[in-house]
Amino acid sequence: MFDKDFSKTRVKITKITSMKPLLNGQNGKFHTNGHHLEILASDFVNDNIETPLKKGAFDVSDEEKMREIEKHFAEIMDVLGLDLTDDSLKDTPRRVAKMFVKEIFSGLDPAKMPEITLFENKYNYRRMVVEKGIKVHSFCEHHFLPIYGKAHVAYISSGKVIGLSKLTSLVDYFSKTPQLQERLPRKIAEPQKEFIQTEDAAVYIEARHMCVQARGVEHEDSVTVTSEFSGKFLNESVKSEFLSAIK
Neighbours of 150 (CB within 10 A): 15
Per DSSP, the three-state class of 30 is strand
Active site residues: 140-143, 181, 209, 211
How far from 9 is each of 6, 12, 52, 167, CA to CA, in Å? 5, 10, 18, 22
What amino acid is encoded at 167 in this protein?
L
Distances from the Cα of 176 to the Cα of 27, 136, 172, angstroms: 27, 9, 6
> Under the phi-then-psi rule, with left for phi > 0, alpha for psi from -120 to 50, and beta for the rest, what region is 211?
alpha
